[in-house]
């Protein structure tokens, strides 16, 4: 059974004049007609389908691509999307060593700002799988509550990041993270701002470049500790959307982080239901694939 979400469907549908009910009906028909060997559920919840449709900019073909990538990538990255349990040992450690949340205020364009940074700077306290998992849980929890949104801007703080943190991030994990953010994450990404850029950030970009599209690379804006923040507030993000650590007017980061933690802990039922629903179809597709491969391997004279 498809996992329900918390937002009101009719309100969300009416919020965007580009949304067409016929497009959504066409997408439902497409889902039902999919071959059973695919890992895509045929009974995606109407609310989740609307989120995909929004991410596809109200275009049916774009939406199909997003749906395919979303389920394929979640299936291929269980380290990022399975066992989303905040009581697990490394998850509990990551909840203390990291901060992540969506800022309460939107930009003038109506975009949401997702914030993430280290709190504990010791590399051995950084667990890359759990860091990715919690960041995606934060976005999922926000979509669960708010529904489709115009766009998202990522605000990353590099303060305290060392080369030791990079060595704890397997290249395969970095590749999966980048691919999902660009192709499977059901939101419209509008920009990436990196604060307190460290001297070795060129090495970080060198690591990321093979996995990032040109248009995404153009979205990345680097800001150093001594940059003019008045200029930043004027050209990048308004003060109300920035934490006080950077001269902004938002609430302190720890308070916002703890509120976000409460939300994702309270949504364990949703994360479990989403995983169960997704795995039901993943197992079916893998089972059929094995059977088909078995027939192909038969050598009949």
H/E/C letters for each residue in the chain?
A: CCCCCCCCHHHHHHCCCCCCHHHHHHHHHHHHCCCCCCCCCCCCCHHHHHHHHHHCCCCHHHHHHHHHHHHHHHHHCHHHHCCCCCCCHHHHHHHHHEEEEECCCCCCCCCEEEEEEECCCCHHHCCHHHHHHHHHHHHHHHHHHHCCCCCEEEEEECCCCCHHHHCCCCHHHHHHHHHHHHHHCCCCEEEEEEECCCCCHHHHHHHHHHHCCHHHHCCEEECCCCCCHHHHHHHCCCHHHCCHHHCCCCCCHHHHHHHHHHHHHHCHHHHHHHHHHHHHHHHHHHHHHHHHHHHHHCCCC
Q: What is the pLDDT of residues 25-70, one digit of tens each?
A: 999 999 999 987 788 999 999 999 999 999 999 999 999 999 999 9
pTM, 2 dp:
0.92
Residue 283 pLDDT = 58
Set out the domains of the chain in order of their start, with CATH numbers: 9-81+274-290 (no CATH), 97-264 (3.40.525.10)
Q: How confident is the model at residue 1 (pLDDT cuts 50, 70, 90)?
A: confident
């Amino acid at each position: 059974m498809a996992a329900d979400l918390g937002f009101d469907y009719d309100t969300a549908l009416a919020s965007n004049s580009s949304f067409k009910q016929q497009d959504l009906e066409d997408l439902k028909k497409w889902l039902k007609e999919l071959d059973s060997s695919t890992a895509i559920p045929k009974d995606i919840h109407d609310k989740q389908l609307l989120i995909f449709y929004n991410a596809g900019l109200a275009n049916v073909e774009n939406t199909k691509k997003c749906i395919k990538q979303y389920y394929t990538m979640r299936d291929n990255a269980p380290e990022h999307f399975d066992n989303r349990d905040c009581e697990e040992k490394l998850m509990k450690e990551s909840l203390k060593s990291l901060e992540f949340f969506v800022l309460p205020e939107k930009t003038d364009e109506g975009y949401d700002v997702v914030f993430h940074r280290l709190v504990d700077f010791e590399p051995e306290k950084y667990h890359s799988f759990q860091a990715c998992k919690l960041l995606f849980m934060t976005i999922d929890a926000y979509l669960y509550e708010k529904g489709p949104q115009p766009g998202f801007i990522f605000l990353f703080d590099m303060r305290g990041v060392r080369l030791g943190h990079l060595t704890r991030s397997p290249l395969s994990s970095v590749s999966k993270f980048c691919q999902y953010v660009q192709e499977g994450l059901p939101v419209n990404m509008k920009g990436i701002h990196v604060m307190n850029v460290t001297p070795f950030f060129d090495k970080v970009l060198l690591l990321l470049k093979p996995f990032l599209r040109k248009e995404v690379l153009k979205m990345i804006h680097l800001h150093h500790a001594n940059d003019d923040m008045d200029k930043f507030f004027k050209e990048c993000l308004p003060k109300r959307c920035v934490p006080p650590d950077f001269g902004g007017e938002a609430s302190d980061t720890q308070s916002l982080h703890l509120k976000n933690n409460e939300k994702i802990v309270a949504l364990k039922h949703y994360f479990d239901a989403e995983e169960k629903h997704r795995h039901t179809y993943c197992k079916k597709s893998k089972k059929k694939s094995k059977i088909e491969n078995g027939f192909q391997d038969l050598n009949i004279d």
